[in-house]
């Protein structure tokens, strides 16, 4: 069955790679981001299977407009992927109120709005799938300069698990999945608030295409919680063992 898949943060990186992969698989893809020119270029690479909608996913009214537009034009949404987000480079002792507010806005509210605005459609059908793209840093806070980002992704992880629990009894046809990439070779580091190291120069990285392949697999499997790199579960367990806690 041809699924309609909405991807936020789709103008570059993981979102763009995922859109292109799903389009090649025959999916109908809706790509959403703030940068119109870059978004149009992604849509053009999606072999005629993509619709582009310019929106700021940190604004609830924009997210609601995306839902309404897709339903009006395509008749339904099967999968909603919350991929929009932003990094930050600042030590925890130096964080400002503005830093915290902006990083929560970009990494928590973007996903919260996506979930809340698409859920009425999913509930009406008792069918649908939300995939939230988190980060290994939401599980293992080993990078002090990414402190606020780690905290925001941990917040997102909790929201994902709790809304999944909330829906399991009342709407078992709806799944909420979490995908946690590690370091990915994109412009993420360069676009971080206050700048930062290029993610492509960091060790143990993977390509955006590799992460996209995992997310595409989650659409099929509907697994609730997935890492994108082999051995990550052991790495997380090793971190908690080192501080004397179970993961």
221 vs 111, 175, 225, CA distance in Å?
21, 11, 11
Q: What is the pLDDT of residues 61-91, one digit of tens each?
A: 999 999 999 999 999 999 999 999 999 999 9
Domain assignment of residue 62, yes or no:
yes
Domain assignment of residue 179, yes or no:
yes
Q: How many whole angstroms separate alpha carbon 29 and alpha carbon 31? A: 6
Domain assignment of residue 96, yes or no:
yes
Name the active-site residue from 149, 227, 239, 240.
149
Of the pLDDT bands very low, low, confident and very high (cuts 50, 70, 90), residue 128 is very high
Domain assignment of residue 60, yes or no:
yes
Question: Which range of residues forms the domain containing residue 99?
Answer: 4-242
Tally of domains in the chain: 1
Q: What is the pLDDT of residues 37-65, one digit of tens each?
A: 999 999 999 989 999 999 999 999 999 99
Domain assignment of residue 209, yes or no:
yes
Query: How large is the average pLDDT for residues 190-195?
Result: 91
Q: What is the CATH number of the domain that holds 39?
A: 3.40.50.720
Domain assignment of residue 141, yes or no:
yes
Indicate if the pLDDT at residue 247 is higher than 60: no
Indicate if the pLDDT at residue 1 is higher than 70: no
> Which residues make Cβ contacts (< 8 Å) with residue 80, sequence separation at least 6?
5, 6, 114, 115, 118, 128, 129, 130, 131
Domain assignment of residue 158, yes or no:
yes
3-state secondary structure of 185: coil
Over its C-alpha atoms, the chain yields an Rg (Å, rounded) of 17
β-strand 225-227 against 79-82: which pairing, if any? unpaired
240 is catalytic: no
Whether 28 contacts 104, CB under 8 Å: no
Residue with tokens 């709407």: 171
214 vs 22, 53, 108, 154, CA distance in Å?
12, 24, 22, 20
Domain assignment of residue 247, yes or no:
no
Of the pLDDT bands very low, low, confident and very high (cuts 50, 70, 90), residue 189 is confident
3-state secondary structure of 29: strand
């Amino acid at each position: 069955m041809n699924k309609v898949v909405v991807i936020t943060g789709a103008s570059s990186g993981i979102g763009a790679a995922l859109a292109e992969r799903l389009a090649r698989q025959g999916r109908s893809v809706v790509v959403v981001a703030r940068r119109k020119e870059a978004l149009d270029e992604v849509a053009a690479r999606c072999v005629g299977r993509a619709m582009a909608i310019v929106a700021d996913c940190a604004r609830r009214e924009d997210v609601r407009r995306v839902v309404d537009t897709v339903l009006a034009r395509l008749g339904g949404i099967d999968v909603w992927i919350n991929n929009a987000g932003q990094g930050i480079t600042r030590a925890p002792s130096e964080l400002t109120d503005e830093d915290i507010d902006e990083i929560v806005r970009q990494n928590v509210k973007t996903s919260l709005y996506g979930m809340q605005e698409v859920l009425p459609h999913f509930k009406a059908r008792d069918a649908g799938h939300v995939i939230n793209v988190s980060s290994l840093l939401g599980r293992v806070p080993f990078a002090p300069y990414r402190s606020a980002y780690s905290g925001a992704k941990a917040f997102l992880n909790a929201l994902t698990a709790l809304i999944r629990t909330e829906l399991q009894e009342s709407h078992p046809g709806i799944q909420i999945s979490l995908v946690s990439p590690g370091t990915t070779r994109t412009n993420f580091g360069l676009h971080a608030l206050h700048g930062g190291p290029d993610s492509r120069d960091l060790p143990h990285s993977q390509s955006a295409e590799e992460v996209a392949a995992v997310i595409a697999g989650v659409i099929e499997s509907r697994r609730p919680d997935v890492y994108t790199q082999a051995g990550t579960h052991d790495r997380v367990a090793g971190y908690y063992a080192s501080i004397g806690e179970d993961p």
